[in-house]
Amino acid sequence: MTSGVPAVFLDRDGVLIEDTGYPHLEAHLRLMPGAAEAVRRLNTLGFLCVIVTNQSGVARGLFSEEQMKAFNALIVRRLAAKGAVIGAVYACPFHTEARDERYRHPDHPDRKPNPGMILRAIADHHIDPARSFLIGDQATDLEAGRRAGIPGFLFEGGDLNDFVKDLLGH
C-alpha cells in the first residue's frame, strides 16, 4: 500500500488572488505577485495544489454559486496558462447570516476554521496529510489546517513565490 500524494492547500482571496472584497467577476481577478510561479514550483516538487476557500458572498446574496464556480474556473485557467496546475477547488458558500436560506448554516463543517473542505480533498485525492501543508492569510485558515492535522503557514502578502521558496528552504 503506497502512501498518498503530498498536497498544498491554498486559500484563494489574499493568497492566490488579491482580495478585492468578494471578487467574482473577471474584472476583479488579479493574481497575487508570484502566485503562478509558486504553484508551478509546488507542481514541480510533486505537490497537488488544492484551493480551499470560504465564499460567503454566495450566502450574502452578492453573487450566485454559478458565478462563484465560473470565477474559480477562471482562476484555474489563468494559472494554467502560466504553467501552474491547480488539481482541485473546494469552496464553501455557507454562512450563519445568509440571506438565502439554502446557504444558512450555524457552523457548516466546510466553513473554515472547520476542516471539512480539507478532509474531503484528502479523501477524494488520496492525499497524504503527513506530507501536506496549508497556506492561508487568516487565522481561520491555519486553524482549519490544524483541525485537519496539517501544518498551516500565514501568508501576509508580498510575493507568494518568495514565501514558498522560503518555506521550502530553497
- Annotated binding-site residues for Mg(2+) read 11, 13, 137
d(CA 131, CA 101): 38
**Cell numbers 458572498 correspond to what residue?**
57
> Which residues are annotated as part of the binding site for Zn(2+)?
92
Strand pairing of 48-54 and 7-10? parallel
In total, the chain counts a number of residues equal to 170
**13 in catalytic set:** yes
Cα–Cα nearest to 137, from 29, 57, 27, 52: 52
Choose, from 13, 19, 128, 159, the residue flagged as catalytic.
13
d(CA 143, CA 151): 9
For the record, the C-alpha cell of 85 comes out as 496546475
Choose, from 11, 100, 124, 128, the residue flagged as catalytic.
11
d(CA 17, CA 74): 12
Under a CB-based contact definition with an 8 Å cutoff, are residues 134 and 9 in contact? yes
Active site residues: 11, 13
